[in-house]
Amino acid sequence: MSSLTVLEEPVKFHLSLNVPDLARAVEFYALFFGRAPAKRHDDYAKFELDDPPVVFSLAPHPPGPGASLSHLGLRVASDDTIQTFRARLEAAGVCTQAQAGTTCGYALQNKLWVTDPFGNFWEVYRVEEDVRPEAVRRSTEGKAARTDAESGTSPQTQAVWEHFVTAPPPTRIPHRDAALDEVRLVGTFNADLTDAQRTLLISEAARVLKPGGKLVTHGLMSDRPFPGAQPEVPGLAAMVARVPVQTEPIVQFRRAGFVGVQVTQFTEKAWFTINGVELREVKLIAWKPAPAPATTETRPVLYKGPFARATVDGGHTFERGKRIAVPVAVWEQLRLGPVAEQFLFFEPAAGAPCAT
């Protein structure tokens, strides 16, 4: 009696999504996955993915009430794969949102966000390393809020709190004064918040950050004000409620007392041009200043360039190649800040100079 050969298929995760427009869904997901559907009928479509092993199907039904889907994701092995997704989507005019070094799911991740035509959020992400709950401290309740001593673990170097564009603004960041190393406002200036809510959130960031702590914001910004109403941004319309002018966060950070504001990401090519206004991905970093010491001591610095003259927060002006003395607080701020490589810092003399 002959035996039958049994073909064992690898285990695959299956996900079925209800969509109101099957044709639009197939068009989007064929672009997103970079392949045609394995099956395509008037009432059903299916994508067979090998890496990752997923059976992804679409059914032409409106999402029912009480749906609890938060988002969907693909975990990949490299940043190059994330960039491949991004290039393919943006070449087709689909807007994406990049996040580098963000903390999510108690892990440090690089990721890319995109929405399908029906508002479902997708992330393509790579995990760099796990993050201990004590370093995240997202709430004041539960295990994630325990102190290092209570948890019996060694303290992490960085304590971080993050607000994401889709999250409601807190009336108070759930941390004590001067407790955090970094606060991240990811898309916060694109969220549907009032001026008062944004001002309060930045003020709260100043409260919870340690002296020398870092405030980061990342989002879509414009090169000038819009002549009329805020634009409807394709692809991320469900996430982007407003697009601020690039200088708005800088003004608000300085008004809240932050110093050393620096643009660390500014896409060369505009994502969109709407009514003559260019929209770009921008990332800004600012620091909470250390308290000024009760001393009149000064220390010399020399500005190396690249400009003939530079003025920093606080009004101090430096001419290239000229050595000048500044208060110790300014000296420390420059030495620890983002423009430290543009200066030479002279330590105080170890003793009195010898007489000649």
- β partners of residue 343: 303
From the list 298, 316, 101, 292, the residue with the least C-alpha distance to 211 is 292
Distance CA(120)–CA(167), nearest Å, equals 16
pLDDT value at residue 256: 93
Distance CA(97)–CA(121), nearest Å, equals 11
Q: Output the domain CATH number for residue 213.
A: 3.40.50.150
* 212 lies in the same domain as 312: no
Does the CA dihedral 164-168-170-171 come out positive or negative?
positive
* 168 lies in the same domain as 251: yes
By residue range, what is the domain housing residue 305? 298-345
Distance CA(151)–CA(115), nearest Å, equals 38
Distance CA(107)–CA(111), nearest Å, equals 12
Q: Is residue 341 part of a domain?
A: yes
pLDDT value at residue 124: 87
* 197 lies in the same domain as 240: yes
- Whose tokens are 């009696």? That residue is 1
**0.85 cut: is pTM over it?**
no
pLDDT value at residue 109: 79
Q: Is residue 94 part of a domain?
A: no
Q: Is residue 136 part of a domain?
A: no
* 276 lies in the same domain as 207: yes
* 322 lies in the same domain as 261: no
* 230 lies in the same domain as 185: yes
**Quick one: the chain helix, strand, coil %, rounded to 5?**
20, 35, 45
Count of domains observed in the chain:
3
Does the CA dihedral 348-349-352-355 come out positive or negative?
negative
Q: Which two tokens stand for residue 169?
A: 């603004």
pLDDT tens digit at each of 356 positions of the chain: 455 554 455 556 768 787 888 899 999 999 989 999 988 888 788 898 888 888 888 878 765 544 546 568 888 888 899 999 989 988 888 878 777 776 665 567 788 888 888 777 788 888 887 766 555 444 323 333 333 333 344 444 578 898 988 788 899 999 999 999 999 998 899 998 999 999 999 999 999 999 888 999 998 899 998 887 777 776 554 578 889 999 999 999 999 989 878 888 888 888 778 888 998 889 999 989 877 666 678 888 888 888 888 887 667 889 888 888 888 878 877 876 667 778 888 876 544 444 33
Q: How far apart are the first and last CA of the chain?
A: 111
Angle at 53 between CA 52 and CA 58, to 5 degrees: 100
Q: Where are the beta strands (DSSP E) in 201-276?
A: 209-222, 259-266, 272-274
Q: Is residue 69 part of a domain?
A: no
pLDDT value at residue 335: 78
Are 19 and 25 in contact, with CB atoms under 8 Å apart?
Answer: yes
Instruction: Please provide residue 206's backbone torsions phi and psi, each rounded to the nearest 5 degrees.
Output: -65, -35
